[in-house]
């Protein structure tokens, strides 16, 4: 035992970690321990005391944040499908906008495409219907023209209301024309020209006696006017297709509220 003690003392002297400059490695600092313990005490005290101060709204938001993050990182299948279809619609509409400006591939035909679009505008059709109504002398003709005027006015109001609700802009940054402002056709969804030509073509096919070639030309005219709005960059493809659907629904609405000949005569006499 006496011999082992000098050996252990010599071993301690030879140990490098027992030197003065390395003592801090073997013994933890008291200041660190005190700061850690005080920090733990403060956090422990702040937890119970701070919990009552936090409002229920803040606690609810803190609980909902992880769920919102998960919803953003893991969208539903419907959301993915809708966003994919929307991206395809925008991409195809931009590709088909060959007359969007003078620098486009078909920029030289822009004037002709605009002229085709004017044939489906509401102002010329309302003005033409009023002129024909003044010059008409038959009861059947006045009845058809009065209901056509009603259909045109309903089309403008319905499309303007839907566009104000959707507020969707076209694929290209193109300012609406003067006639578009008059009919409140300033947004993209749904396409006002498409709904109007669809309603007019269906109206004429039902209430006018036309030969087969004229009926085919009428349908082709409606299709050309609708998709001309995509070519000049004013509407997306889905805007035009939805316009066709709304135009047909407007025709069915006019058929339901069809004004009789007596009603038309009473309105004409008041006017």
Where in the sequence numbering do the catalytic residues fall? 193, 235
Report residue 41 as tokens: 């005490």
What is the C-alpha to C-alpha distance for residues 255 and 35, in angstroms, rounded to an integer?
A: 85
Report residue 219 as tokens: 């349908």
Q: How many CA atoms, within 13 angstroms, populate the side-chain half-sphere of residue 64?
A: 6
**In 3D, which of 212, 199, 214 has the Cα closest to residue 246?**
199
Per DSSP, the three-state class of 257 is coil
Count CB atoms within 10 A of the CB of residue 90: 14
Report residue 225 as tokens: 């006017």
- What are the two backbone dihedrals, phi and then psi, of residue 163, each rounded to the nearest 5 degrees? -65, -40
Q: Which residue has the tokens 């920029």?
A: 107
């Amino acid at each position: 035992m006496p011999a082992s003690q000098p050996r252990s003392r010599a071993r301690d002297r030879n140990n490098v970690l027992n030197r003065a400059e390395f003592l801090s490695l073997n013994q933890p600092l008291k200041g660190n321990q005190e700061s850690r313990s005080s920090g733990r005490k403060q956090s422990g005290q702040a937890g119970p005391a701070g919990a009552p101060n936090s409002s229920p709204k803040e606690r609810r938001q803190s609980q909902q944040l992880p769920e919102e993050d998960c919803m953003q990182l893991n969208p539903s299948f419907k959301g993915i499908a809708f966003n994919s279809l929307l991206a395809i619609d925008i991409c195809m509409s931009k590709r088909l906008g060959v007359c969007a400006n003078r620098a486009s591939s078909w920029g030289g035909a822009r004037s002709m495409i605009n002229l085709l679009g004017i044939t489906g505008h509401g102002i010329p059709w309302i003005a033409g219907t009023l002129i024909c109504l003044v010059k008409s002398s038959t009861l059947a003709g006045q009845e058809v023209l009065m209901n056509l005027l009603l259909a045109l006015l309903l089309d403008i109001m319905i499309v303007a209301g839907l566009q104000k609700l959707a507020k969707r802009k076209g694929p290209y940054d193109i300012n609406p024309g003067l006639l578009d402002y008059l009919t409140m056709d300033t947004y993209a969804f749904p396409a006002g020209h498409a709904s109007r030509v669809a309603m007019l073509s269906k109206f004429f096919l039902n209430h006018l006696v036309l030969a087969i070639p004229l009926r085919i030309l009428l349908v082709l005219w409606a299709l050309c006017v609708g998709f001309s709005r995509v070519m000049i960059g004013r509407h997306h493809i889905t805007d035009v297709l939805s316009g066709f659907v709304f135009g047909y629904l407007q025709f069915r609405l006019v058929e339901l509220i069809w004004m009789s000949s007596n009603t038309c005569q009473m309105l004409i006499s008041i006017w």
